[in-house]
Homo-oligomer: A and B are copies of this chain.
Amino acid sequence: MKRKITLKQIARELNVSISTVSKALRDNHEISKETADKIKAFAKQNNYRPNNIALSLKNRKSMTIGVIIPDITHHFFSKVIKGIEKIANKQGFNVIIGLSNDSFDKEVLNMEMLANGSIDGFIISISNDTQLKQDYHHLAETMNQGMPIVMFDRFSNETICDKVIVDDFDGGRKATKKLLEIGCKHIAIISTEDFVSVSRHRLQGYLEALDNHKITPKSSLITKISEGADIEKEVNQLFDSNKKIDGVFAVNEIFAITAMKVARQRGLRVPEDISVIGFSDGLLSKHCSPSLTTISQHAVKMGEKSAELLMKRLENESEEEELPRTIVIETSLIERESTR
């Protein structure tokens, strides 16, 4: 139950001043080898470690970065965190997590909680709620206070900061192109509501791919499922509204797997009768059967890049501001069993 030992206690015990102890432990030349050795020995014996909080206050930096994400149980986000943690830890930074739960208010609250000295910078993927409200003042204010922000995946155009984004447009195009190439004629897309930026971009990629093949998109092939809706029901409606569907591009794993399930219930074989491509390469895609052909976003790499960007900005503090960078992570198509 003994508290951690401090410089003051070492100083008192050894009858020297606090500054002597501090200097000795940091190998300052002002201290004689004799004294330094004595102090070091005592410190080691008592397992002295400088108090991080005191250092943070003195240096005005906490060596901690704050990560705000909508949902940690979402596999994509946990992979991003893994990447962030890896890079941050390597450079001696800690990672503190804030969950917005896809609520604007909680996102703001979390940021305010952390922005008062606890952290040196943010890495954030904004909530759907925030994208819906289009209210980004908390980001602007935070940056105004000199706290750097890196946005990843879900971002807002009006916030001027470093960004690490997925080329969702190209991902959507890639997936659709693949379906076209293997001979699909009636390709449906299962997306979310339009205000979710990433889904919107994937849909645009889908349209672009169709256009490249001189195919006119049909509204009966496009479905947008809103948060909390009954996915299976919606997918069934999609299949009802167009009986000729022979290819499905879903903007996430759950939608894709539900599509396969519904297709099978309707007597369609995957991939013989219908091919399915999902988005984001999680456990589900790999282990469901048939395993899912999908667009990988390289989540871990996104986390790594985000952390690198942030820490680079934290390094050259006093120097003049560098221009914000945007790193685009290319997607890649992972072929599995759900496409023929």
Contact of A261 among B75, B110, B289 (CB under 8 A): B289
**Cβ-defined contact, B52 with A54, below 8 A:** no
Interface size class, chain A = 35 or more
Q: Contacts A2-B144, A2-B146, A117-B51 known; A254 to B287 CB distance under 8 Å?
A: yes
Bound together, the chains give a CA A36 to CA B141 distance in angstroms of 26
As for how many copies of this chain the complex holds, the number is 2
**Cβ-defined contact, B289 with A264, below 8 A:** yes
Is A224 engaged at the interface, CB distance under 8 Å to the other chain?
no
Is A269 engaged at the interface, CB distance under 8 Å to the other chain?
no
Is A72 engaged at the interface, CB distance under 8 Å to the other chain?
yes
| CB contact list, A154-198 vs B, under 8 A | none
Residues in B whose Cβ lies below 8 Å from that of A114: 94
Bound together, the chains give a CA A258 to CA B307 distance in angstroms of 35
Is A81 engaged at the interface, CB distance under 8 Å to the other chain?
yes
Minimum distance in angstroms from A54 CB to a CB of chain B: 6
**Cβ-defined contact, B289 with A287, below 8 A:** no
| CB contact list, A52-80 vs B, under 8 A | 52-54, 56-57, 62, 64, 71-73, 75, 78-79
- Identify the stretch in A95-103, A123-131, A210-218, A240-248 within 8 Å (CB) of chain B at 4 or more residues: A95-103
Residues in B whose Cβ lies below 8 Å from that of A78: 72-73, 78
Would you mind naming 24 contact pairs between A and B with Cβ atoms under 8 Å apart?
A1-B321, A4-B116, A4-B117, A4-B146, A49-B116, A50-B116, A51-B116, A52-B117, A53-B62, A64-B96, A72-B72, A72-B78, A72-B85, A73-B79, A75-B283, A85-B97, A85-B99, A89-B110, A94-B96, A94-B98, A94-B114, A254-B287, A257-B287, A288-B288
